[in-house]
Protein backbone atom coordinates (compact mmCIF):
# COMPACT_ATOMS: atom_id res chain seq x y z
CA UNK A 1 0.00 0.00 0.00
CA UNK A 2 2.81 2.44 0.88
CA UNK A 3 4.48 1.69 -2.45
CA UNK A 4 1.31 2.62 -4.34
CA UNK A 5 0.89 5.88 -2.40
CA UNK A 6 4.53 6.74 -3.06
CA UNK A 7 4.12 6.11 -6.81
CA UNK A 8 0.86 8.11 -6.89
CA UNK A 9 2.62 11.00 -5.13
CA UNK A 10 5.47 10.92 -7.66
CA UNK A 11 3.02 10.95 -10.55
CA UNK A 12 1.27 14.03 -9.12
CA UNK A 13 4.57 15.84 -8.53
CA UNK A 14 5.73 15.16 -12.08
CA UNK A 15 2.35 15.81 -13.75
CA UNK A 16 1.38 18.99 -11.86
CA UNK A 17 3.53 21.42 -13.93
CA UNK A 18 2.24 19.91 -17.19
CA UNK A 19 -1.37 20.24 -16.01
CA UNK A 20 -0.79 23.86 -15.03
CA UNK A 21 0.61 24.61 -18.49
CA UNK A 22 -2.43 23.08 -20.18
CA UNK A 23 -4.90 25.25 -18.25
CA UNK A 24 -2.95 28.50 -18.66
CA UNK A 25 -3.98 30.80 -21.49
CA UNK A 26 -1.73 30.57 -24.54
CA UNK A 27 0.66 33.50 -25.09
CA UNK A 28 -1.35 34.54 -28.16
CA UNK A 29 -4.21 35.66 -25.87
CA UNK A 30 -2.10 38.09 -23.80
CA UNK A 31 -3.18 41.72 -24.05
CA UNK A 32 -6.87 41.19 -24.76
CA UNK A 33 -8.50 44.62 -24.87
CA UNK A 34 -11.99 43.22 -24.33
CA UNK A 35 -11.27 42.60 -20.63
CA UNK A 36 -12.84 45.83 -19.40
CA UNK A 37 -15.99 47.07 -17.69
CA UNK A 38 -19.03 47.01 -19.95
CA UNK A 39 -17.51 44.46 -22.34
CA UNK A 40 -18.22 40.73 -22.16
CA UNK A 41 -16.16 38.37 -24.31
CA UNK A 42 -16.93 34.69 -24.78
CA UNK A 43 -14.40 32.56 -26.64
CA UNK A 44 -16.16 30.38 -29.21
CA UNK A 45 -13.05 28.80 -30.74
CA UNK A 46 -9.29 28.97 -30.50
CA UNK A 47 -7.60 26.52 -32.82
CA UNK A 48 -4.20 25.87 -34.30
CA UNK A 49 -4.41 24.73 -37.92
CA UNK A 50 -3.16 21.21 -38.61
CA UNK A 51 -2.43 22.05 -42.25
CA UNK A 52 -0.54 25.21 -41.24
CA UNK A 53 0.91 24.50 -37.77
CA UNK A 54 2.24 28.04 -37.28
CA UNK A 55 -1.21 29.61 -37.79
CA UNK A 56 -4.25 29.97 -35.56
CA UNK A 57 -7.80 31.27 -35.55
CA UNK A 58 -9.56 32.90 -32.62
CA UNK A 59 -13.33 33.38 -32.72
CA UNK A 60 -15.12 35.27 -29.97
CA UNK A 61 -18.61 36.62 -29.31
CA UNK A 62 -18.27 40.08 -27.76
CA UNK A 63 -21.03 42.21 -26.26
CA UNK A 64 -20.48 45.91 -25.52
CA UNK A 65 -22.85 47.80 -23.22
CA UNK A 66 -24.32 51.12 -24.44
CA UNK A 67 -21.72 53.90 -24.28
CA UNK A 68 -18.84 51.46 -23.68
CA UNK A 69 -16.01 50.70 -26.08
CA UNK A 70 -13.03 48.58 -27.00
CA UNK A 71 -10.03 50.92 -27.30
CA UNK A 72 -7.77 51.17 -30.32
CA UNK A 73 -5.65 48.04 -30.78
CA UNK A 74 -3.93 45.97 -33.45
CA UNK A 75 -3.73 42.27 -34.29
CA UNK A 76 -0.80 40.28 -35.63
CA UNK A 77 -3.13 38.89 -38.29
CA UNK A 78 -6.31 40.08 -40.03
CA UNK A 79 -9.67 40.39 -38.27
CA UNK A 80 -13.20 40.26 -39.61
CA UNK A 81 -16.01 41.29 -37.28
CA UNK A 82 -19.70 40.68 -37.91
CA UNK A 83 -22.36 42.62 -35.98
CA UNK A 84 -25.10 40.34 -34.66
CA UNK A 85 -27.17 42.99 -32.85
CA UNK A 86 -27.02 46.66 -31.96
CA UNK A 87 -24.98 49.49 -33.45
CA UNK A 88 -21.22 49.94 -33.35
CA UNK A 89 -19.04 52.84 -34.38
CA UNK A 90 -15.78 51.56 -35.82
CA UNK A 91 -12.59 53.55 -36.06
CA UNK A 92 -10.09 52.00 -38.47
CA UNK A 93 -6.64 53.55 -38.90
CA UNK A 94 -6.84 57.14 -40.12
CA UNK A 95 -10.21 56.65 -41.83
CA UNK A 96 -13.30 58.51 -40.56
CA UNK A 97 -15.39 56.50 -38.09
CA UNK A 98 -18.15 54.42 -39.67
CA UNK A 99 -21.36 52.94 -38.25
CA UNK A 100 -21.95 49.19 -38.40
CA UNK A 101 -25.44 47.79 -37.79
CA UNK A 102 -26.73 44.24 -37.29
CA UNK A 103 -25.96 42.14 -40.34
CA UNK A 104 -22.94 44.21 -41.36
CA UNK A 105 -19.29 43.40 -40.95
CA UNK A 106 -15.88 44.80 -41.64
CA UNK A 107 -12.30 43.68 -42.23
CA UNK A 108 -9.21 45.06 -40.47
CA UNK A 109 -5.86 44.11 -41.99
CA UNK A 110 -3.01 42.88 -39.80
CA UNK A 111 -1.34 45.60 -37.71
CA UNK A 112 -3.97 48.25 -38.58
CA UNK A 113 -5.21 50.06 -35.46
CA UNK A 114 -8.96 49.84 -34.88
CA UNK A 115 -11.51 50.25 -32.09
CA UNK A 116 -15.25 49.81 -31.56
CA UNK A 117 -17.79 51.79 -29.54
CA UNK A 118 -21.44 51.03 -28.82
CA UNK A 119 -23.24 54.20 -29.87
CA UNK A 120 -26.72 52.70 -29.49
CA UNK A 121 -29.12 52.39 -26.57
CA UNK A 122 -28.98 48.59 -26.30
CA UNK A 123 -26.09 46.13 -25.96
CA UNK A 124 -24.22 45.52 -29.23
CA UNK A 125 -22.95 42.01 -29.98
CA UNK A 126 -20.48 41.03 -32.66
CA UNK A 127 -18.43 38.01 -33.64
CA UNK A 128 -14.69 38.59 -34.11
CA UNK A 129 -12.71 36.23 -36.34
CA UNK A 130 -8.98 36.86 -35.86
CA UNK A 131 -6.18 34.97 -37.61
CA UNK A 132 -2.65 35.00 -36.28
CA UNK A 133 0.65 33.23 -35.86
CA UNK A 134 1.39 30.65 -33.19
CA UNK A 135 3.59 32.04 -30.43
CA UNK A 136 2.91 35.70 -31.33
CA UNK A 137 0.74 38.01 -29.28
CA UNK A 138 -2.58 38.21 -31.12
CA UNK A 139 -3.80 41.56 -29.75
CA UNK A 140 -1.76 44.60 -28.77
CA UNK A 141 -3.20 47.84 -27.32
CA UNK A 142 -2.43 50.73 -29.71
CA UNK A 143 -0.38 53.65 -28.49
CA UNK A 144 0.35 56.67 -30.70
Percent of the chain predicted with pLDDT > 90: 53
* φ and ψ at residue 92, rounded to 5 degrees: -130, 110
Euclidean distance between CA atoms 16 and 121, whole angstroms: 48
pLDDT at 6: 38
Q: Pick from 8, 132, 5: which is nearest to 59 by CA?
A: 132
Of 122, 131, 130, 75, the C-alpha closest to 102 is 122
User: What class does CATH assign to 26-141?
Assistant: mainly beta
Q: pTM higher than 0.85, yes or no?
A: no
Amino acid sequence: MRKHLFVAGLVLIVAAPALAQQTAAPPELAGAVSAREGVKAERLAFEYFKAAPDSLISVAKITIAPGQFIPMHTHSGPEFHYVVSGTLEETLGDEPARTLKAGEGHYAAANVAHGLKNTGTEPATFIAFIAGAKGERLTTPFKK
